[in-house]
Structure 1
């Protein structure tokens, strides 16, 4: 894992190898950063859950490094937000589907769509990014 956390508490990003331990390592990195920024009590659990789901999707379908980035939009914005991005080298966007009760998977994007203020995907020069926003208000 390689990572950068700025000293202003506005942006943090990491790159994880596409290995099974990446999900656990990403959860810990995100949780530690949210604690440092004083956001853990407000949105820690949901952020960690959604990052876990998206990193798991990347591990399942992509074979290259997985990027995670947190961007905190501080006071002064119309609504204080946390933007979370998960990137991988696979260019195909994820497909949101309705999971049957007995399905083992297929709920990650449902969780993101049902919880985040907004979410989406975008293509990059070397893959795609799935992003979501969480409001930082009580």
Structure 2
């Protein structure tokens, strides 16, 4: 983990099955240290969905970044991978086992989106409102 100024935390996980669990653990630990335990469950769930998407569709390392809000506001969460194609939100049928991750992110977050990565790849981000 790289923690530059106490308000930002970055991790890089290898593209392997243990990445999802490691990402959830990292998120819960950092949010607890920041006193944002109330956001831990939803943040860990959404990070799990995005890291799982990266594992399924991309090869190479998966980046995770949390940015703590300066004065209340929002928690910014970013998941990056080397695949340049943005994820596609799709409508899953009731019998489908996959395809609901981005719907969950869209429904549970304040805002979300994608942007090209630095050099290669992409970043999928979402914001969660910090309870007052």
Find the aligned partners of 1:73 and 1:27 in 2 and give their Cα distance.
20
Find the aligned partners of 2:3 and 2:28 in 1 and give their Cα distance.
13
Aligned length: 131
RMSD, matched Cα: 1.1
Please list, as runs of the form range in 1=range in 2, the aligned pairs for 1:68-83 lying within 5 A after superposition.
68-75=64-71, 80-83=73-76
Aligned pair partner of 2:120 in 114, 126, 132: 126
Structure 1: any 5+ residue segments left out of the alignment?
A: none
- The answer to whether 1:11 aligns with 2:23 is no
Find the aligned partners of 2:5 and 2:126 in 1 and give their Cα distance.
23
The CA deviation string for residues 38-78 of structure 1, in whole angstroms up to 9 with x for no partner, is 101x2110000000000000000001100000001221xxx
How far did 1:32 drift? 0.5
How far did 1:7 drift? 5.2
Q: Secondary structure at the match of 2:95?
A: coil
Aligned pair partner of 1:87 in 80, 83, 94: 80
Find the aligned partners of 2:83 and 2:21 in 1 and give their Cα distance.
21
Find the aligned partners of 1:99 and 1:132 in 2 and give their Cα distance.
21
Structure 2: any 5+ residue segments left out of the alignment?
A: none
Q: Which residue of 2 aligns with 1:23?
A: 20
Find the aligned partners of 2:3 and 2:45 in 1 and give their Cα distance.
20
TM-score, structure 1 normalization: 0.91
TM-score, structure 2 normalization: 0.95
Find the aligned partners of 1:100 and 1:28 in 2 and give their Cα distance.
31
Aligned pair partner of 2:91 in 94, 98, 113: 98
